Structure 1
Amino acid sequence: MNFDEEKYKAHILEVMERFAKGEASEVDKQELDNWYNHFPSFERYAEGMPSSEKLLAKDKMLHNINKQIYLEAVPVKQSQSNRMLRRVMWAAMIAIISCSGLLFYRSEIKRANTKQLTQNQVIIPGGNRAFLTLADGSRISLTDAANGNIAKQAGVTISKTTNGQLIYTAHHVQGNTVEKNDGYNTIETPSGGQYQLQLPDGTVVWLNAASSLKYPVSFSKKKQRHVQLKGEAYFEVAKNKSLPFVVSVHSVNGDKKEQDVEVLGTHFNINAYHDDNTIKTTLLEGSIKVSLPSASTIQLSPGQQSVNKNNALQVTEVNAEYAVAWKDGYFRFNDKTLGMAMKEIARWYNVDVQYKDPALRNEPLAGTISKYSSITQVLKKMELTGAFRFTVKSREIIVE
């Protein structure tokens, strides 16, 4: 019987879909494992595949498989089944590259000889790492602090949870007791760190690497809930019509306000890293008002992003989920250049990046990779473009 390649393509995609949904049988898993072991022979797997079939492969595979990449972050014992699972996931990602060119691409892929990625030091992904500076000046390493109550201020208890979250709980102050509540706390994440906190009003904030958030000890007796951000954060603001929530983005030294975002209750992301020279505010839910010191003001609707560059605002329609991929555990490089992607990687893995050819910063990328993969896995997947290669020396990545 002749081998029907077209039917096999359709079959293997169906098996992958079952695996991504957690519905794969033992026979399916064994078949995918065997397929992985023989994958190199399918290097030109999608040659001649019609565009409609490539799009179907994208729709069926990309979303579900990306969810499964989280399994790479789970610190499980390396049993045979776990090794097989990770190999299959990697094979599935290769399939996306081969079938639809979605993971990483450039308009003209260079077919130059590639060198093996070299690494002489294990560089691990970032994690829940942060420092909390209280209004009295005391500084607490949240990485090292024991779970439970950390401090009490102005009728607020600060506690750390087992899953790496900082929670502020407001308490009713009885009688005529008056507590000072005009001080500010600051939470800072280093390169290679991130943290989540819940403010006394119930607002939840995810703070990305190399970022800081300054906020009042208490919102009690305030006219607005005002916080100051440097770096990147995602906000889910508790609704309170009588007490607007305002996020101010300040310059590096903190003496110049660059932008305000005012909300009553909504979900949005602000990316304000100063080495990017732009402030991107992306709205996922609700409505927000973005204001500049020049008095220029715009209002965003869900799915819109404002870009503040050189004190001028521009609004575009975007896929808002891309902007918060970092919060959900992914690098999402759609519509980004290599230079933009490497800034994210440098912050998360706490490494330096050098380019032998500065023009490589402009190479276009697309695709999704788990933030909890080893840096070797991330860089190898990016090298599949054929447009560049990496060498890792100590904590420095050289792009050539």
Structure 2
Amino acid sequence: MNENSETQKLLHKFILNQCNLEESNEVVDYYRKNKLTTDFPTVEDIKILVDEIPEMDEATADKIFSKILISAKETESTAIETKKFPMFKYISVAASIIVLLSIGWSYQHGFFKQKNDLIINSNDITLQLANGDVQIISAGNKSQVTDSEGNIVANHNGNKIAYDTETPLEKLVYNTIKIPYGKRFELELSDGTIVHLNSGTTLKYPVRFIAGENRQVFLDGEAFFDVTKDKKHPFIVNADNLNIRVLGTHFNVSSYPEDNLTDVVLVEGSVGLYTANEKFDANKNTVLKPGYKGSFNKKDNHIETKPVITYVYTSWMEGRLTFKNMTFNDITKKLERRYNVTIVNQNKKLANEKFYASFGDEPIEKVLSYFNDVHGINYTIKNNEILIK
């Protein structure tokens, strides 16, 4: 083999694990000739022989990395066969390992990180399991949710996860789902309770509710609960410092960290409201009736109630935006969550203006156009940022 471009091409081919037996032997012969030794080449040896380390895309690297794992298993389970071609077996594995060098030091670390640590996009719906593992939930796919022992505890289909009522668990084990801005999702808990999750929401809940224990979940964001009736096991939603206790009913809870109030709107049944450090007492705590909203002030722990049109607070499940006597400042928060955008309002006078408006599943440009028509606001949109002057 001559030391020319053909040599380098063959060395590159060797690094990419594309050599056949004859070509691999040719590389070994070349190595021995240049190193004046009978030893087999090491990773560093081959690196020195290659003028330029070949580049490859991530897909190619993934395939070759898989070959490394397969080759390692084969080496372990076929020791007798390996004795027939010891040199080729050694070179085959060595060539595969050298792939890591071909993608550079920085990518090498990133490559292993992709294998061990999930790369999560800010737009991904994620499900954190009891053992800390995180799964990305794609609305267009189907998948299964398993526990630490590999038992199937739930099934994911499209925009919903349904938990198994027959899950063989005897202690409370929690999953946590996070919905990013711009998306909505639905859960069916192990007792049959349906939970609609709005954008920017996190819910922590048991994989299975345990007999003799309250059915308690933890909410950060907004959700509509259709709770399965069970008089023996009260259903409690913990929303920061507020507890919402029900036996079986339909209600909406909005408790975003950036909001001053936690709003609970009751559609059907009854709910009791009390602070997290209190014990529920139906005679002392606030009890809502259908058609009422309870607003919990996070600063002073005070609860106020008033009658409302419940649809205003639940229409988001249908993809609608409904504003009733709402300040523009609060409206921008809802728009940011709904459309996954950042809104910078430099019009301070506009911030406290109140509006009545309702929109369907429409692009944000149409929503802004409405405010431009009624108030003449001046705005610009660049990427995902909206500037209002």
Q: TM-score, normalised by structure 1?
A: 0.61
Partner of 1:288: 271
| Greater share of residues in helix | 2
What residue identity is the alignment partner of 2:346? K
- Whether 2:134 is the aligned partner of 1:139: answer yes
Q: Which whole-Å deviations, capped at 9, do the CAs of 1:284-339 have from their partners, x for residues lacking one?
A: 00000010246472000001001111210000111011111111210001121111
Partner of 2:377: 388
What residue identity is the alignment partner of 1:366? Y
Q: Which whole-Å deviations, capped at 9, do the CAs of 1:37-71 have from their partners, x for residues lacking one?
A: xxxxxxxxxxxxxxxxxxxxxxxxxxxxxxxxxxx
**For 1:205, what is the secondary structure of its paired residue?**
strand
**For 2:374, what is the secondary structure of its paired residue?**
coil
Partner of 2:245: 262
Q: Relative to 1, partners in 2 of residues 1:144 and 1:320: Cα closer, same or farther, differing over 3 Å?
A: closer
1:130 to 100, 125, 130: 125
Q: For the residues of structure 2 that align with 1:180 and 1:287, how far apart are their CA atoms?
A: 30
For the 8 Å contact 1:156–1:168, the answer to whether it is kept is no
Moved more, 288-297 or 346-355: 288-297
Structure of higher CA gyration radius: 2
Q: For the residues of structure 2 that align with 1:192 and 1:223, how far apart are their CA atoms?
A: 35
Q: For the residues of structure 1 that align with 2:173 and 2:268, how far apart are their CA atoms?
A: 31
1:195-274 alignment, distance < 5 Å = 195-250=185-240, 258-274=241-257
1:315 to 298, 305, 311: 305
Partner of 1:399: 388
Q: Which whole-Å deviations, capped at 9, do the CAs of 1:73-107 have from their partners, x for residues lacking one?
A: xxxxxxxxxxxxxxxxxxxxxxxxxxxxxxxxxxx
For the 8 Å contact 2:139–2:157, the answer to whether it is kept is no
Q: For the residues of structure 2 that align with 1:129 and 1:197, how far apart are their CA atoms?
A: 16
Partner of 1:379: 368
**For 2:316, what is the secondary structure of its paired residue?**
coil
What residue identity is the alignment partner of 1:233? A
2:164 to 163, 166, 169: 169
What residue identity is the alignment partner of 1:397? I
Q: For the residues of structure 2 that align with 1:334 and 1:129, how far apart are their CA atoms?
A: 31
Q: For the residues of structure 2 that align with 1:159 and 1:172, how far apart are their CA atoms?
A: 12
1:352-363 alignment, distance < 5 Å = 352-363=342-353
Using the TM superposition, give the Cα deviation of residue 186 of structure 1 relative to its aligned residue in structure 2, in angstroms. 0.3
Q: For the residues of structure 2 that align with 1:219 and 1:153, how far apart are their CA atoms?
A: 17
Using the TM superposition, give the Cα deviation of residue 213 of structure 1 relative to its aligned residue in structure 2, in angstroms. 0.5
1:331 to 313, 321, 326: 321
**For 2:315, what is the secondary structure of its paired residue?**
coil
Q: Relative to 1, partners in 2 of residues 1:328 and 1:314: Cα closer, same or farther, differing over 3 Å?
A: same
**For 1:324, what is the secondary structure of its paired residue?**
helix
Q: For the residues of structure 1 that align with 2:333 and 2:212, how far apart are their CA atoms?
A: 37
Using the TM superposition, give the Cα deviation of residue 354 of structure 1 relative to its aligned residue in structure 2, in angstroms. 0.8
For the 8 Å contact 2:163–2:207, the answer to whether it is kept is no
What residue identity is the alignment partner of 1:143? S
Q: For the residues of structure 2 that align with 1:217 and 1:262, how far apart are their CA atoms?
A: 20
**For 1:197, what is the secondary structure of its paired residue?**
strand
Partner of 2:109: none
Using the TM superposition, give the Cα deviation of residue 390 of structure 1 relative to its aligned residue in structure 2, in angstroms. 2.2
1:369 to 334, 337, 359: 359
Partner of 2:289: 301
Using the TM superposition, give the Cα deviation of residue 375 of structure 1 relative to its aligned residue in structure 2, in angstroms. 1.6
Q: For the residues of structure 1 that align with 2:143 and 2:332, how far apart are their CA atoms?
A: 36
Using the TM superposition, give the Cα deviation of residue 352 of structure 1 relative to its aligned residue in structure 2, in angstroms. 1.0
Gaps of 5+ in 1: 1-127, 174-178, 251-257
- Whether 2:194 is the aligned partner of 1:194: answer no
Q: For the residues of structure 1 that align with 2:171 and 2:342, how far apart are their CA atoms?
A: 40
Using the TM superposition, give the Cα deviation of residue 180 of structure 1 relative to its aligned residue in structure 2, in angstroms. 5.1
* Identical amino acids, percent of aligned pairs: 30
What residue identity is the alignment partner of 1:149? Q
For the 8 Å contact 1:152–1:158, the answer to whether it is kept is no
For the 8 Å contact 1:156–1:170, the answer to whether it is kept is no
Partner of 2:155: 159
What residue identity is the alignment partner of 2:177? I
Partner of 2:13: none
Using the TM superposition, give the Cα deviation of residue 249 of structure 1 relative to its aligned residue in structure 2, in angstroms. 1.0
Q: For the residues of structure 1 that align with 2:373 and 2:366, how far apart are their CA atoms?
A: 11
Q: For the residues of structure 2 that align with 1:129 and 1:139, how far apart are their CA atoms?
A: 11
Using the TM superposition, give the Cα deviation of residue 153 of structure 1 relative to its aligned residue in structure 2, in angstroms. 7.0
**For 1:334, what is the secondary structure of its paired residue?**
strand
Gaps of 5+ in 2: 1-122, 279-283
Q: For the residues of structure 1 that align with 2:334 and 2:231, how far apart are their CA atoms?
A: 35
Q: For the residues of structure 2 that align with 1:172 and 1:217, how far apart are their CA atoms?
A: 8
Q: TM-score, normalised by structure 2?
A: 0.63
What residue identity is the alignment partner of 2:157? T
Q: Which has the higher contact order (CA 8 A, sep 6+)?
A: 1
Q: For the residues of structure 2 that align with 1:129 and 1:382, how far apart are their CA atoms?
A: 30
Q: For the residues of structure 1 that align with 2:277 and 2:174, how far apart are their CA atoms?
A: 27
Q: Relative to 1, partners in 2 of residues 1:145 and 1:157: Cα closer, same or farther, differing over 3 Å?
A: farther
Using the TM superposition, give the Cα deviation of residue 382 of structure 1 relative to its aligned residue in structure 2, in angstroms. 2.5
What is the aligned residue count? 259
